Chain A
Amino acid sequence: MTSRHFLLIVALVQGVLLAALIALIILNRWFRLRRSARLQPRRVAVDDSMRRWAAGGTPLAGVLIGLARLPASLAIDALVGWSARVPGERWRELASALEHQWWARLVRTNGSSARWWKRLECARFLSVGAMPADVARLVRLVNDSHAAVHVAAVASLERIESTPLTLAALERLPRLAPTVQAYYAGMLRRSRAVVIQHLLKRLRRGDDPALARFAEFAVRLAEPALRERMTALADHPNPEVRIQAARALGSFPHRESVTALTRLVADAAWEVRAQAARSLGMIADATTLPRVRAALRDPEWWVRLRAGLALMRFGTAGRNALLEIEVGADPAARDVAKLILGLPTQALAEFAA
């Protein structure tokens, strides 16, 4: 075969491909328009029947028939959309009725599919339509390898109370990226009693590599029952754990918290000192004012900034301290005091957040 023949074959293949692509574009658009025209009235019908049923106007059967006429993915979209607008008791009635629907049974079986998008469909459905019998399936989905699947599955904690499911999510939490951890934490807060009981156990394991993450979650809960454990963690050798302890203690205005924070504001790690200064400001115990004032001479800018902002929370005494420092001898402390005193209220509030 000569190079001319080769080029001719390439040109021919290109021509066929070009024609095929143009045909694909036109057919795709035509197909989508037809599909949309066919499904749109059904979607509207489901919305109508759902609205009437939610208001107590029609029986549930109308909603179930409408949902069954939609493709499963669209039916799930409709359910997810409506789940936030229908009161809990009525929604449970719908979830219970869906257990016997053929399409919902099919979606449930997708929970063990090898394809992630099938499992995602199942997880999304169960996030709004799970029943107690689905707990084992949900635990499996919460441990799924695909992030979209387990993120969707953990949302079921909003609607279903189950200790195994809560514990599965809690055990997964330290292995997740920070943003996903925050999302899980939001979901887990709903099962507070189980979570706190389990956290108390986990926070006792001093050598646990996941301790810092559990401590971080404990901070989000701001639960008084955890105060004692968090105070004990103030002396942990891992600075990341001490940062979390310093953060948590700011929410507990207690004598022991103040003692621990006074120690932490002189910690070797500047991140711990900055956090401790911030927490001392949150508690605003008058006896700690000299310590916070001293932190304004810290070699680290962030600690000085946090200490300055903390002083503003001590009221007149803190403000007077800043005014004194503003004309004092230490130039670094002076600069921060000047900055803090010049901040408008709104900026102060934003920085304090």
Chain B
Amino acid sequence: MSALGGVVTGTDLAILVYFLALNSFYAVLLLLSIPEIWEQTRLAEDDDFQRLMQSDALPPITMLVPAYNESATIEASVTAMLTLEYRSYEVVVVNDGSKDDTIEQLRHAFDLYEVPRIYPETIATQPLRAVYRSRTRSRLLVLDKENGGKADSLNAAINASRFPLVIAVDADTLIEPDALLRLTRPFLLGREIAAVGGTVRVANNCTVKDGRVTDARVPHRLLPGIQVVEYLRAFLFGRLGWNRLGGNLIISGAFGLFRKEYVAAIGGYRTTSIVEDLDLVVRLHRYLRANKIRYEMPFIPDPVAWTEVPESAKILARQRERWHRGLIAAIWEYKGMLFNPRYGRVGFLAMPFYAFGEMLAPLIEVFGYVVTVVGLSAGMVDSSFALLFVLVAWGYGMLLSIWAVVLEEVSFRRYRRFGDLFLLLLYASLENFGYRQRTVWWRLKAFVSVWKRRQVWGDMTRKGFGTEVSTP
């Protein structure tokens, strides 16, 4: 019994140390996000953008839009992408062998006609069926290819792209009109940019007109509502904090701008990867560090893209399980970068954080719950102490979420109504009671999937933005 007591006490202590170390790091990120958002807000408010828009200095951009069974949203999304406030860009939509009528929708909406392929296949992809241009939209190029997954579609679009910067955008994502312009700010500020990420926000319950979010609202349903806070936390303080630590390891696949020469140099997106954006960014870091190329991969908060998040627990569970499976796969694949001085801060900070603070977190959390329950039932852990510990842990999570709401409030204030602000605070408070434990469970299942070597893509059922989502 005393041996069991020793194990329980030792485990509790280890979990407490882990909790302290991880939360201290979060506190550092939180503190670092303050000067970062302050600087970014200052630069974002600079009205000189209008002048830059009229200059020919802006680098031309190719938007890569993979589409798989996006029939419901494709026309509105592509129309919105074709009318952005940017001088020189093209949109390459790739129909990845959709089972629905995505290609027919595109053909009908944009009056497509077939053209010969006039570019080399720099990155190998699944065979192309046809290449189309539009009679009504000269910026648009549509590729129809055999199904090969999102990464394969992005590679096909990279092959067809003409411009030095490429931005991967999900077909169901709504880009704000000035988002491209804002996203190129780091390039205009003369920094050595390899990639730059913008903010992805939740579009559920927002009013959408002509493929644009005209009125930002916080969803009234709990599940998408909590995801609003999650997204704010991930983007506004997590990634901003990492800017100062020089190691943003994730640039959202739904909205990230990359220098094509670097992406091509590493062979494009890996088709075998589960989370292609994380995989790409880690490989970019590895390539640029290994070749001693000076670079930055900043996140800037003011360019915004809106996306629909899952409203059902079943789809959300699948999404989170896949994300975590991708994280495990990436960390395992690139474990050689961990604590490797060759990779600088990425090897010493970002990779260990994602390995120990993100990847292992669900395992440790569940292990902590189990040990505490065992300790309580055996009378080895004081129940009031255990309760206090859990409350402090949850309180800390709540603090981080509310901090994300603070950052949103002092900077961009997309949610104008007091009611929405109240909902944000409510969701930030409720997140730790039930929702967090469910995500831990979903992420835990990812370990089982990895063990069974599953690599199945999650499907996302979308309502579509074509119809105006009214507010109650």
Contact = CB atoms under 8 A, between A and B. Distances in A.
A81 interface: yes
Interface string A150-177: 0110010000000000000000000011
Contact of B425 (A22, A32, A338): A22
Contact of A77 (B47, B398, B403, B410): B47
Contact of A21 (B184, B190, B191, B402): B402
B459 interface: no
A14 B395 contact: yes
Given A7-B392, A11-B391, A346-B133, A176 B190 contact: yes
Interface stretch (B55-63, B270-278, B279-287): B55-63
A127 B47 CA distance: 12
Given A25-B406, A25-B425, A305 B46 contact: no
A120 B56 contact: no
B403 A3 contact: no
A124 B402 contact: no
B314 interface: no
Interface stretch (A129-137, A178-186, A202-210, A247-255): A178-186
B465 to A, nearest CB: 29
A177 B392 contact: no
Contacts of B120: 301
A10 interface: yes
Contact of A343 (B56, B118, B413, B421): B118
B188 A183 contact: yes
A29 B57 CA distance: 37
A24 interface: yes
Contacts of A24: 406
B399 interface: yes
Contacts of B398: 18
Interface residues of A, number: 51
Contact of A117 (B42, B47, B51): B42
A179 B164 CA distance: 11
A28 B413 CA distance: 11
B388 A11 contact: yes
Given A81-B47, A155-B48, A179-B188, A25 B405 contact: yes
B448 interface: no
Contacts of B55: 182-183, 186
B133 A180 contact: no
Nearest to B39: A117
Main secondary structure of the interface of A (DSSP, over half): helix
B48 A179 contact: no
A182 B57 contact: yes
B378 interface: no
A147 interface: yes
Interface in B369-400: 382, 385, 388-389, 391-392, 395-396, 398-399
A180 B115 contact: no
A342 B116 contact: yes
A245 B232 CA distance: 50
Contact of A25 (B59, B392, B395, B421): B421
Q: Tell which of B57, B388, B396, B410 has the most Cβ of chain A within 10 Å.
A: B57
Given A22-B402, A183-B57, A3 B16 contact: yes
Given A29-B421, A179-B59, A305 B388 contact: no
A155 B51 contact: yes
Nearest to A146: B189
A152 B57 contact: no
Given A3-B385, A4-B388, A178-B59, A124 B116 contact: no
B272 to A, nearest CB: 28
A339 interface: yes
A119 B133 CA distance: 47
A10 B16 contact: no
A176 B189 CA distance: 9
Contacts of A183: 52, 55, 57, 188
Interface of B: 16, 42-43, 46-48, 50-52, 55-59, 113, 115-118, 120, 133, 138, 184, 187-192, 382, 385, 388-389, 391-392, 395-396, 398-399, 402-403, 405-406, 409-410, 413, 418, 421, 425
30 contacts: A7-B389, A11-B392, A14-B396, A21-B403, A25-B409, A25-B425, A29-B418, A77-B47, A80-B48, A84-B51, A120-B42, A120-B46, A127-B48, A147-B189, A148-B46, A151-B189, A151-B190, A152-B48, A178-B59, A179-B57, A179-B188, A180-B57, A180-B187, A180-B188, A182-B56, A183-B188, A186-B56, A186-B57, A343-B118, A351-B118
Given A4-B385, A29-B413, 17 more contacts: A4-B382, A10-B392, A18-B395, A77-B47, A84-B51, A151-B190, A177-B190, A179-B57, A179-B58, A179-B187, A183-B188, A185-B57, A186-B55, A339-B117, A342-B115, A344-B113, A344-B115
Q: Which 4 A-B pairs have the closest CB atoms?
A: A183-B57, A147-B189, A182-B57, A177-B190
